[in-house]
């Protein structure tokens, strides 16, 4: 087992534990049972022992294993989070040109909050990529389990599209494999996997849910919109953003060697995308799950059953687009997202969501 002390992507005054037991995610009812056990009081026949061991060098060696960094110019931004020293060590002596930003650990986050999916926090990284003429920029969150990528033109690559990009190399070696996405992921990402011969599999948002499902299916790859990437074909199936970055650069190298272009070419070939951002709608914790239940009943009453996915909230998929409403795992909010094949289809999805929310007693002005 293992315990990591982390506040995840929350502000610096938050802290908590991420627990692994018997190589499995430890969450939900497991945590509740542990709390009840502790409340009853614990007794031990004898004291345990502790030993302090540094695995830092071994970890860096493992990250580099079977990775070809190519000759790219890359800018890395760790935002004064925990990944900083490891990134400095990782890029030292490898091929290519690497510039690192804000690698000193400082929980006050003096330069910007380390959230690699927030365009505002990627502003400095984008500027540095542009000034350096770099191939791409890579950013991390505070505890190094989420990754954000921008291409040389400044376009942000969402977590679902990054997962789809990584799947191309994996599906070459694992024909027909299932690739997991969380329910917030775009139909664009799912279509990329289908076209590459894979089977996209939608699952519940949340790193614990994704890791558990990855093991159950024996899948080689999973990813979330939020930038959690789980690679299991040649790694351990947990969300290590530094390893995801290594695999991303190695895949870029292989694409260039095959004459298949790079990240910008990949993005250029995608169809136009008409999507909303991830919208957070205030809803008290003691009400949000009941609201989602009402929404699922409402939508199931007016739409065909085969168009509705209830694995995490309600996701409606039609021939012209999709929309999602679910309860946030981490805050008093509902999370909404939609995509359409064109602007008109997207507007229709937003209007449908708005109508359903109002019927359920929730006020939303749209994205």
Residue 48 domain flag: no
Return d(Cα 93, Cα 237) in angstroms, integer: 27
Q: Is 298 helix (H, G, I), strand (E, B) or coil?
A: helix
Q: Which stretch of DSSP H or E encloses residue 65?
A: none
**One domain, residues 278 and 254:** no
pLDDT value of residue 79:
96
Quick one: tokens of 195? 């076209």
pLDDT value of residue 17:
87
Return d(Cα 223, Cα 228) in angstroms, integer: 6
Is the per-residue pLDDT at 89 higher than 90? yes
Residue 173 CB partners (closer than 8 Å, separation 6+) = 233
- Of 210, 234, 268, the one marking the end of a domain is 268
Residue 145 domain flag: yes
Mean pLDDT of 155-184: 97
Is the per-residue pLDDT at 7 higher than 80? no
Return d(Cα 101, Cα 213) in angstroms, integer: 35
Residue 132 CA, distance from chain mean position: 27
pLDDT grade for 21, boundaries at 50, 70 and 90: confident
**One domain, residues 235 and 343:** no
Q: Which stretch of DSSP H or E encloses residue 118?
A: none
- Of 223, 251, 268, the one marking the end of a domain is 268
pLDDT value of residue 329:
86
**One domain, residues 148 and 284:** no
Residue 123 CB partners (closer than 8 Å, separation 6+) = 112
Residue 111 domain flag: yes
Min mean pLDDT across 11-25, 65-79, 198-212, 321-335 is at 11-25
With a pLDDT cut of 70, the percent of the chain lying above it is 99
Residue 244 domain flag: yes
Mean pLDDT of 307-318: 96
Q: What are the tens digits of pLDDT across the range 225-253?
A: 999 999 999 999 999 999 999 999 999 99
**One domain, residues 151 and 299:** no
Mean pLDDT of 37-48: 87
pLDDT value of residue 9:
66
- In this structure, the number of other CB atoms found within 10 A of the CB of residue 347 comes to 15
Return d(Cα 17, Cα 22) in angstroms, integer: 16
Q: What are the tens digits of pLDDT across the range 105-134?
A: 998 999 999 999 999 889 999 999 999 999
In the chain, where does DSSP find H-type helix?
29-40, 56-64, 84-91, 123-132, 159-173, 187-195, 207-217, 241-257, 263-268, 285-302, 343-359
Residue 144 CB partners (closer than 8 Å, separation 6+) = 78, 81, 82, 83, 86, 240, 241, 242
Return d(Cα 247, Cα 231) in angstroms, integer: 9
**One domain, residues 215 and 286:** no
Return d(Cα 127, Cα 115) in angstroms, integer: 17
CATH of the domain at 353: 3.30.310.50
Mean pLDDT of 41-66: 93
Residue 283 domain flag: yes
Nearest residue to 232 via CA among 245, 244, 249: 244
Among 8, 250, 320, 328, the one annotated catalytic: 8
* Dihedrals phi, psi of 64, to nearest 5 degrees: -80, -15
Return d(Cα 308, Cα 326) in angstroms, integer: 13
Q: Is 137 helix (H, G, I), strand (E, B) or coil?
A: strand
pLDDT value of residue 237:
95
Is the per-residue pLDDT at 14 higher than 90? no
8 is catalytic: yes
Q: What is the mean pLDDT of the chain?
A: 94
Domains: count for the chain: 3
pLDDT value of residue 28:
84
Residue 65 domain flag: yes
Return d(Cα 43, Cα 92) in angstroms, integer: 48
The residue segments making up the domain with residue 30 are 2-40
Q: Is 250 helix (H, G, I), strand (E, B) or coil?
A: helix
């Amino acid at each position: 087992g293992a315990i990591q002390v982390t506040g995840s992507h929350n502000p610096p005054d938050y802290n908590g534990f991420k627990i692994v037991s018997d190589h499995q995610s430890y969450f939900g009812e497991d945590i509740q049972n542990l709390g009840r056990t502790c409340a009853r009081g614990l007794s031990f026949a004898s004291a345990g022992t502790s030993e302090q061991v540094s695995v830092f060098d071994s970890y860096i060696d493992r990250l580099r294993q079977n990775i070809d960094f190519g000759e790219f110019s890359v800018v890395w931004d760790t935002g004064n989070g925990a990944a900083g020293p490891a990134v400095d060590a990782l890029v030292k002596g490898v091929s290519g040109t690497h510039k690192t930003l804000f690698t000193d650990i400082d929980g006050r986050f003096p330069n910007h909050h380390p959230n690699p999916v927030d365009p505002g926090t990627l502003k400095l990284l984008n500027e540095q990529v542009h000034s350096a003429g770099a191939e791409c920029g890579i950013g991390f969150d505070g505890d190094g389990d989420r990754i954000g990528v921008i291409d040389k033109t400044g376009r942000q690559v969402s977590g679902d599209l990054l997962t789809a990009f990584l799947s191309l190399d994996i599906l070459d070696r694992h024909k027909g494999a299932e690739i997991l996405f969380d329910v917030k992921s775009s139909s664009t990402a799912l279509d990329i996997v289908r076209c590459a011969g894979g089977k996209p599999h939608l699952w519940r948002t949340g790193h614990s849910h994704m890791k558990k499902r990855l093991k159950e299916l024996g899948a080689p790859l999973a990813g979330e919109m939020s930038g959690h990437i789980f690679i299991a074909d040649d790694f351990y199936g947990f969300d290590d953003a530094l390893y995801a970055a290594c695999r991303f650069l190695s895949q870029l190298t292989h694409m260039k060697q095959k004459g298949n272009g790079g990240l910008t070419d990949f993005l250029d070939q995608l169809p136009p995308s008409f999507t909303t951002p991830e919208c957070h709608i205030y809803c008290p914790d003691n009400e949000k799950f009941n609201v989602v239940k009402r929404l699922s009943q409402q939508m199931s009453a007016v739409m065909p059953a085969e168009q509705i996915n209830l694995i995490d909230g309600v996701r409606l998929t039609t021939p012209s687009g999709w929309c999602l409403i679910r309860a946030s795992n981490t805050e008093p909010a509902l999370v909404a997202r939609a995509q359409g094949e064109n602007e008109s289809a997207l507007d229709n999805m937003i209007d449908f969501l708005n109508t359903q929310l109002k019927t359920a007693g929730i006020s939303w002005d749209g994205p």
